Amino acid sequence: MPRAAPSLLPNRLKNALQHLLILAGLALVLAVPGYLLAGLFGVIWCFALVALTLYLSGRVPARVVLANASAGLLRRHQAPELYRVLDALYRHAGLTAEPLLFYSPSPGLNAFAVGDRHDGGIAITEGLIRTLNLRQLGGVLAHEVSHLRHGDTRVMSMAATMTRLTIWGAFLVQLGLVMMLPLVMAGEIDMPWRELLVVGLTPTLSTLLQLALSRNREYTADLEAVALTHDPRGLASALAVLERHDSLWLTAIFGRQPPTWLRYLQTHPPTRERIRRLLALDGTAADSPAPRREPSPEAPVVISRPDAQGRRYWILRRR
């Protein structure tokens, strides 16, 4: 057993506590405009809409995402090595559903989980396949399997719904306050400055909490990926490659060191911080660079590419 194992439990507890606190914060922020609009009934109505969205979230959005990505189903004979790795990851994660890989022809370096642990899969792009080697791809797949295992797509769908409801509720409260202006100007009532300030801040606070939750789930997926592969450096190496490709536009805008405040507006944590945490699990010095292994052209991980499927195919497809 690698040295990473003893460090996993405290990290898991820390991430779980952060997860619960952020969700509680989102719920509290959502309750504010609901309460100002209709009292306790407004709060109950808002959370009923969140529950309904959570129930429906696993039935359509995954297919819509695949359709928008022009994805096609990558079959076993087209990527036998990747499916061999994915089979092992599913088995270690306790997932009983059939592993499914989807292929997107995008040149960008990306992978994402769709659906949930019962009826989901993982999409990978052409750019990722061409750039990473099998070990690095294994780390990325383990990260996405962790998202499926813990239902992160549904968690983030719920958080997004709570944020949208908060924004809409705040807008309705602000609209009501504007309609009260004639009465305020006539001196019949006082301007409710406190309520105006609160509803002005709630959309921003809810958005920041949603982004914080996304970063928390990414840290947790990194941790659980290590638990599945026992190879922190494999994922760290993949992240180092992604950092070199994805940080170019930030460098062009902000220079070599993007401002600290920018991290609070991102859905993913800083890649260097993720690499530092992974290398710490491996007992490696935090400033030790991840290995830069290049993919081997003699052994492609994808033998042939599937054709892209249209929106009609994905919307009607059951499996």
Q: Which positions ≥6 away from 134 have C-beta within 8 Å? A: 81, 82, 85, 295, 299, 301
User: 22: closest CA among 160, 206, 268, 220?
Assistant: 206
Q: What is the DSSP letter of 308?
A: P
> Which candidate in 144, 195, 294, 298 is catalytic?
144
Helices (H), the chain: 5-56, 61-68, 80-93, 126-131, 134-149, 152-179, 181-185, 193-229, 232-246, 248-254, 271-281, 311-316
List strands edge to edge, sheet with 121-125: 72-74, 101-104, 121-125, 111-114
Confidence (pLDDT) at 167: 93
In Å, what is the CA distance from 135 to each residue of 94, 126, 187, 292, 296?
Answer: 21, 17, 71, 11, 11
Question: How many domains does the chain contain in total?
Answer: 1
Higher pLDDT, 217 or 9: 217
Confidence of residue 262 (pLDDT cuts 50, 70, 90): low
Q: Does the structure show a pLDDT above 80 at 314?
A: no
Confidence (pLDDT) at 215: 93
* Token code pair at residue 240: 């180092």
Q: Could you give the CA distance from residue 315 to residue 63 in angstroms, rounded to a whole number?
A: 6
Q: Which positions ≥6 away from 273 have C-beta within 8 Å? A: none
* Token code pair at residue 73: 């189903």
Q: Could you give the CA distance from residue 46 to residue 293 in angstroms, rounded to a whole number?
A: 50
Q: With beta carbons less than 8 A apart as the criterion, state whether 124 and 111 touch.
A: yes
Confidence of residue 72 (pLDDT cuts 50, 70, 90): confident
**123: which strand partners?**
102, 112
Q: Which of 207-211, 247-251, 307-311 has the lowest mean pLDDT?
A: 247-251
Active site residue 218: no
Q: Could you give the CA distance from residue 121 to residue 238 in angstroms, rounded to a whole number?
A: 20
Determine the 3-state secondary structure of 229 from DSSP: helix
Higher pLDDT, 246 or 235: 235
Q: pLDDT for 10-51, tens place per residue?
A: 878 888 898 889 989 999 999 999 998 888 998 998 888 888
Q: Which positions ≥6 away from 188 have C-beta within 8 Å? A: none
As a whole number, mean pLDDT of residues 205-217 equals 93
- What domain range includes position 49? 5-316
